[in-house]
């Protein structure tokens, strides 16, 4: 092969390689956008105190008035998942200018998975350290026993893709409102990671065996 022919082949290979990298780079955002978000990994204590939560890394979804994303954000949902025990921990906090409201005539604070009727935790779950658990946050913080800042909850969940619905009633604009991650049956998608397989701890002997 002549010098110029060989040079031409190298140029063609370089162009093809560059095109492949560009195609992959363009495809990655679309693939990432198609993948459902995963919860942060970790645990929490359902006790009505949320100091252990990280409101940046644990954030999962906004919760809108009447579940309508075109309306005001009234509260936010935070999630942590413990792969070892398959327990999901949820934190719902109302926005600083919003008051969480307990409706004594109905169950209005809850978490559902898959559909609204499949609730997995709520204000009637109790709090005995065994999921499902539930605890109000800041109940009576302003002197009114029906006012709260949000709630914590825990529940068992299996790995896979689903949707999650979180709901709380709030007092805003001088009236009782609902705050939810979505309309009934429509909520943010959620990917529950698979439980990682056990990894044997490395020992000095095992490392030495690699170099025999």
Q: Please list the helix, strand and coil fractions of the chain in percent, rounded to the nearest 5, in that order.
A: 20, 35, 45
State residue 7 phi and psi, 5-degree precision: -65, -40
Q: How far is CA 4 from CA 1, 8, 120, in A?
A: 8, 6, 70
User: Tokens at residue 133, please?
Assistant: 């658990």
Question: Which is it for the CA torsion 65, 68, 73, 76, positive or negative?
Answer: positive
Taking residues 111-131, what's their average pLDDT? 95
pLDDT tens digits, 63-120: 999 999 999 999 999 999 999 999 999 999 999 999 999 999 999 999 999 998 999 9
CB distance 148 to 100 below 8 Å: yes
Is the pTM value of this prediction over 0.75? yes
Q: Where are the beta strands (DSSP E) in 66-128?
A: 73-82, 87-94, 99-101, 110-113, 119-122
Q: Which residues contact 147 (CB under 8 A, 6 or more apart)?
A: 99, 100, 101, 102, 138, 139, 140, 141, 171
pLDDT at 124 over 70: yes
pLDDT tens digits, 152-183: 999 999 999 999 999 999 999 999 999 999 98
Give 114's DSSP letter: S
| Architecture of the domain delimited by 40-192 | Sandwich (2.60)
Helices (H) and strands (E) in the chain, counts: 2, 13
Where are the domains positioned within the chain?
1-34, 40-192
CB distance 93 to 79 below 8 Å: no
């Amino acid at each position: 092969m002549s010098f110029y022919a060989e040079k031409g082949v190298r140029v063609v290979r370089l162009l093809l390689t560059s095109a492949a990298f560009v195609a992959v780079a363009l495809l990655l955002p679309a693939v990432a956008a198609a993948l459902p978000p995963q919860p942060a990994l970790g645990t929490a204590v359902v006790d009505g105190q949320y100091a252990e939560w990280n409101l940046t890394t644990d954030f999962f979804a906004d919760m809108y008035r009447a579940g309508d994303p075109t309306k005001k954000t009234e509260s936010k949902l935070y999630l942590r998942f413990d792969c070892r025990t398959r327990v999901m921990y949820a934190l719902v906090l109302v926005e600083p200018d919003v008051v969480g409201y307990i409706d004594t005539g109905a169950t209005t604070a809850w978490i559902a998975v898959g559909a609204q009727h499949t609730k997995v935790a709520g204000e009637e779950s109790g709090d005995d350290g065994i999921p499902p658990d539930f605890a109000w946050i800041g109940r009576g913080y302003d002197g009114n026993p029906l006012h709260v800042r949000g709630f914590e909850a825990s529940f068992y969940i299996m790995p896979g893709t689903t949707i999650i619905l979180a709901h709380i009633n709030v007092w805003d604009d001088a009236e009782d409102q609902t705050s939810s991650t979505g309309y009934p049956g429509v909520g943010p998608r959620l990917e529950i990671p698979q439980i990682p397989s056990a990894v044997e701890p490395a020992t000095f002997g095992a490392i030495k065996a690699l170099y025999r």
